[in-house]
Amino acid sequence: MTQRINAYLARALGRSRRSCDDLIACGRVTVAGRAALPNDRVDDSVVVLFDGKPLHAPAQNYVAFNKPAGYLTARRDERDKTVHELLPPRYKNLFPVGRLDKDTRGLLLFTNDGDWAQKLLHPSHEIVKRYRVELNRVPSLDMIRSRVQLHDGPSLFDSVEPVDIKDKHVVEVTLHEGRKRQIRRHMRELGYRILDLVRTEIGGILLGDLPEGSLRALSRDEIGSITRSDRRAGGKKDRGGSRKAKR
* Residues marked as catalytic: 101
C-alpha distance from residue 215 to each of 15, 60, 207, 219 (Å): 20, 16, 10, 13
Do the beta carbons of residue 9 and residue 110 sit within 8 Å? no
Give the containing element (helix H, strand E) for 117: helix 114-121
Give the containing element (helix H, strand E) for 3: strand 3-4
CA distance 3 to 136: 48
Residue among 153, 139, 236 at smallest CA distance from 190: 139
AA letter at 194:
I
Strands 194-202 and 105-111: parallel
Residue among 142, 109, 126 at smallest CA distance from 210: 109
Backbone angles phi, psi at 105, to 5 degrees: -105, 170
Phi-psi region of 87 (alpha: psi -120 to 50; beta: other; left: phi over 0): beta
Residue-wise DSSP of 157-213? -SEEEEEETTEEEEEEEEES---TTHHHHHHHHTT--EEEEEEEEETTEE-TTPPTT
